Amino acid sequence: MESPALPPQGASTRSRRWRRVRRAAVLPLAALALSGCTVPNFGANQGDTTSSRSVFHLWQGFSIGAAIIGTLVVALVLWVVLRYRRRGDAIPKQVQYHIPLELTYTIVPILIVFGLFAATMVVENKEVANPKTNVTIDVNAFQWGWKFSYPGSSAVVIGQTTQDPTMVMPVNTNVHINLTSTDVVHGFYVRAFNFSRYALPGVLNQFTLRAVNTGDFFGQCTQLCGLYHSLMFFNVKVVTMAKYRAWLASFNNSSSASAASAANLAQRQQTSSVVPSKPYVSNGAK
Amino acid sequence: MVDILEHPVSAHDLPDPHHEDHGPTGILKWITTTDHKVIGLSYTVTAVVMLVIGGVFAEIIRAQLASPNGTLVSLAQYNELFTMHGSVMIYLFAGPFAFGALANIMVPIQIGAPDMAYPRLNALSYWLYLTGAITMLSGFFTAGGAANFGWVAYAPLSNSLNTPGAGADLWIGGLLLTGFSAIFTGVNLVATIFYLRAPGMTMFRMPIFTWNMLVTAILILLAFPVLTAGLIMLYADRHFGTHIFSVAGGGVPVLWQHIFWFWGHPEVYILALPFFGMVTEILAVFSRKPVFGYKGMIFATLSIAALSLGVWAHHMFTTGVVLLPFFSIMSLLIAVPTGIKIFNWIGTMWRGEVWFSAAMLMAIGFVITFLIGGLTGIYLASPPLDFFTHDTYFVVAHFHSVVMALVLAGMAGLYYWGPKFTGYLLDERIGKIQFWFLFIGTQVFTLPLYLLGLRGMPRRMAIYPHDPQWKFLNDVSTVGAVLIGISTILFVVNVVVSWKKHPAGDNPWDGQTLEWFTTSPPPHHNFYRLPAIRSERPTWDYNHPEHRAIPHAPAPVTAETEPVR
């Protein structure tokens, strides 16, 4: 019946301001789109296993979210404190509630959280899956070193404190790791794999690594395990399957195996004179 | 509504608040007192001393890490230092400072009570705390040194075989004592808040700080007994031949982690909630507005508390023995109520009159620093990202962002409430300089540590391989630690130079809650008179009757309910 009334003055200013806000919000997004498809790595690396790459992408996703929310909140705080800094003795309007607004910033974060959770689950299910494999390495952590043994072969690599033993594993193969601890809680951590897992006394921890690149990687104990925690390093050497087989075979010659263990023993004693190691191997406690 | 507006302003007189104050004076008063304000002041001083002790440990740690093969301390000393740094800061500073010092003084005054519900129990709490602190620290004077198994004391590293010596036992004993002190304070706070509120002070008229202290106290009562039980088990394993945490005897080492973190994660909120409360009030007062979303804030606090009881195993994702999805979603969900708080804080300042006092600057600094700690916490709630960063410096950086935010909030609390319980203002100019040192120092200290963690440096290493990136990031972080140290010195300087210099008056900040209605310092039983309590801002309503908070569902305005003016 009636032609729609013109919006009141206040509303039109508001919509103009809103348009300006929208324009300001669109700009950085457009800039992001124009800058190409390279998503920044936010300090992390994609790593050298299949799951390290999924973890890296999850990291990027979380970081983009955190960057947007963080920037928004910091901008809001700075805007509020600078725009509304005290200019006189006036008492502002005593607004206490705005239910629709409060509901918005309750419901939107819930949706974001479920999104993050869904992404987490996808990556986690890939990472904790235990696919079939015929390469298994038993990793045993002790104060303060590592022992890598290869079931079905006489290959054993052991080293402590300053010796940095090397775990050899084949590339592009699912490698099943059985992780145990002889004494206290240790942490098996390979930075290039974006992965760590505790070695717990009395618990067999199992996981699968699938390296996609050959190379030498750096590993370390992450959980405080006593005096020489800072020295509990190891190396991971990822080689081709052929080289891995050859390396394993070198142990199967019994004479070389005994030579290796003798060398190990000698090395251990040598280390003991440099850095005192614990004289006993405990089973968790007395 | 009628009820609210019937007596818009009135203050009724109370019996002489000094009528029971015939006690001794001087040092004897300090030792024998049951007055919550004197006990609270003892707590404040003791906790700040602990902050300084823990801070000195931190500076030594950072100096050691400034070079890869630091030789300032030995490997063994380093383990003692970071163990005691964490223990002192968590057990002896942050908690007691929040619920022993500021809550002890402020909660009774905020609800119009003459004292805590159990004044003698309150005194016992303090003496247990002091004894516990001395017990724990005395480990340094034993032959084997102080405890050195980290502040989390993971079994079986903490058993008598791996950590013989009295230092560890003194650590357990000290923690038991301070644990009981916390439990008694929790009992006291709950009883006080439930039973000693002044007439008119309904639950939904309590200041946010008091609300947060109520929730904190309930969390203390739920969490601390578990820790106490765990410590007794640990002690029994060490000395009475039980095998609760030993594999050899059929025990389960991971059980310790479950017990510890079942206390440890609620503890995070036991530490944080009081400071959230302080900041909420400070932001409101220095914006001259009511707390935005007051009820939403309370529900957010309640849901944080409820969720915090179901997230402990996110500290144990890498153990491989916990159900990952459950603890992941519960931990992620905590972001929601925490986010509500941050938006409410912004809403409180929105269109206010933001006064950049030292306390307000610290509170704003808290919001930004806590935001960084909160956002990085979300990563750690995701198991794959936790596998990636667990026990590296990323985690160290995350919780230091959070606890340094709490230090900022605690400082804000001292600048804001210090004048109330001492009667004198602190120097604002030194306070602002202190703020910039503390705020910038915190970021310079923590931000490199995030990168350091991503570059693969595990925590708790006394020496590290010579990696130029690790060294550079460690050096920057050390510079930040020095800036933080300077800020602490500035605080001590401020206390000295403004000692009894600028009388505060009753209400220096145009405060809103009941503590600003009484004198500074308040009399023995807190109040000469009380205003009508018709909202959560009785002092504000009394001083500015024409500027009441605008209710969220405006009642139809009738002649009867029309407010004054």
Would the CB atoms of A94 and B289 count as touching at under 8 Å?
yes
What the block records as the tokens of B446 is 């923590």
Q: Write the burial class of residue A259 (CB in 10 Å: 0-12 exposed, 13-18 middle, 19+ buried).
A: exposed
The pLDDT, as a whole number, for residue A24 is 57
The pLDDT, as a whole number, for residue B526 is 92
Residue A121 above 70 pLDDT?
A: yes
Residue B171 phi/psi, 5-degree rounding, is -65, -45
Residue B422 C-alpha, separation from nearest chain A C-alpha, in angstroms: 27
Chain A residues with CB-CB distance to B392 below 8 A:
189, 222
Q: What is the mean pLDDT of residues A245-264?
A: 68
Residue B327 C-alpha, separation from nearest chain A C-alpha, in angstroms: 11
Chain B (291-350) residues lying within 8 Å, Cβ to Cβ, of chain A: 291-296, 318-321, 324-325, 328-329, 332-333, 335-336, 339-340, 342-344, 346-347, 349-350
- Mean pLDDT lowest for which of A15-24, A102-111, B392-401? A15-24
Q: What is the mean pLDDT of residues A177-182?
A: 94
The pLDDT, as a whole number, for residue B169 is 95
The pLDDT, as a whole number, for residue A8 is 45
Q: Residues B461-492: pLDDT tens digits?
A: 999 988 889 999 999 999 999 999 999 999 99
Q: Residues B498-519: pLDDT tens digits?
A: 988 899 999 999 999 999 999 9
Domains and CATH numbers, chain B: 2-543 (1.20.210.10)
The pLDDT, as a whole number, for residue A7 is 42
The pLDDT, as a whole number, for residue B6 is 44
The pLDDT, as a whole number, for residue A100 is 92
The pLDDT, as a whole number, for residue A21 is 56
The pLDDT, as a whole number, for residue B54 is 96
Cβ contacts of A170 within 8 Å, gap of 6 or more:
A135, A211, A238, A239, A240, A241, A243, A244
User: Which superfamily, per CATH, for A135-274?
Assistant: Cupredoxins -  blue copper proteins (2.60.40.420)
Residue A240 above 60 pLDDT?
A: yes
The pLDDT, as a whole number, for residue B331 is 95
Q: Residues B230-244: pLDDT tens digits?
A: 999 999 999 999 999
What the block records as the tokens of A37 is 């498809």
The pLDDT, as a whole number, for residue B384 is 95
**CB nearest to B346's CB, from A80, A91, A198:** A80
Contact A236, A169 (CB under 8 A): yes
Q: How far apart are CA B392 and CA B388, in angstroms?
A: 9
Band (pLDDT 50/70/90 cuts) for residue A34 is low
A207 vs B: CB within 8 A: yes
Q: Count contacts between A and B (CB, < 8 Å).
A: 282
Q: What is the mean pLDDT of residues B523-528?
A: 90
Band (pLDDT 50/70/90 cuts) for residue A81 is very high
B397 vs A: CB within 8 A: no
The pLDDT, as a whole number, for residue A129 is 86
Q: Write the burial class of residue A247 (CB in 10 Å: 0-12 exposed, 13-18 middle, 19+ buried).
A: middle
The pLDDT, as a whole number, for residue A14 is 52
Share of chain A above pLDDT 90, in %: 59
Band (pLDDT 50/70/90 cuts) for residue B119 is very high
Residue B17 above 80 pLDDT?
A: no
Would the CB atoms of B456 and A120 count as touching at under 8 Å?
no
Residue A93 above 50 pLDDT?
A: yes
User: Which candidate, B331, B360, B358, B330, places its Cα nearest to that of B345?
Assistant: B360
Residue B135 above 90 pLDDT?
A: yes
The pLDDT, as a whole number, for residue B460 is 93
Chain A (28-47) residues lying within 8 Å, Cβ to Cβ, of chain B: 43-44
The pLDDT, as a whole number, for residue A138 is 95
The pLDDT, as a whole number, for residue B550 is 82
Q: How far apart are CA A83 and CA A239, in angstroms?
A: 61
B391 vs A: CB within 8 A: yes
Contact A120, B384 (CB under 8 A): yes
Band (pLDDT 50/70/90 cuts) for residue B563 is very low
User: Which candidate, B560, B530, B564, places its Cα nearest to that of B544?
Assistant: B564
Q: Residues B146-171: pLDDT tens digits?
A: 999 999 999 899 999 899 989 999 99
Q: What is the largest CA-CA distance in chain B?
A: 80
Share of chain B above pLDDT 70, in %: 94
Q: Residues B283-303: pLDDT tens digits?
A: 999 999 999 999 999 999 999
Contact B286, B232 (CB under 8 A): no
**CB nearest to A97's CB, from B293, B372, B455:** B293
A88 vs B: CB within 8 A: yes
Q: At what angle do helices B393-422 and B253-285 cross, to 10 degrees?
A: 50
Would the CB atoms of B456 and A191 count as touching at under 8 Å?
yes
**CB nearest to B318's CB, from A76, A93, A198:** A198
Chain A residues with CB-CB distance to B245 below 8 A:
285
C-alpha torsion angle, residues B59, B60, B63, B65 (rounded to 10) = -110
A111 vs B: CB within 8 A: no
C-alpha torsion angle, residues B280, B308, B441, B92 (rounded to 10) = 100
Residue type, B11: A
Chain A residues with CB-CB distance to B252 below 8 A:
202
Q: Residues B258-267: pLDDT tens digits?
A: 999 999 999 9
Could you identify the residue written with the tokens 């973190």?
A: B261
Q: What is the mean pLDDT of residues A259-270?
A: 52
Q: Residues A35-66: pLDDT tens digits?
A: 545 788 898 989 999 999 999 999 999 999 99
The pLDDT, as a whole number, for residue A25 is 54
A129 vs B: CB within 8 A: no
Q: How far apart are CA B103 and CA B99, in angstroms?
A: 5
The pLDDT, as a whole number, for residue A22 is 57
The pLDDT, as a whole number, for residue A29 is 54
B458: closest chain A residue by CA: A222
The pLDDT, as a whole number, for residue A28 is 54
Domain residue ranges of chain A, discontinuous segments joined by +: 16-82+96-128, 135-274
The pLDDT, as a whole number, for residue A35 is 52
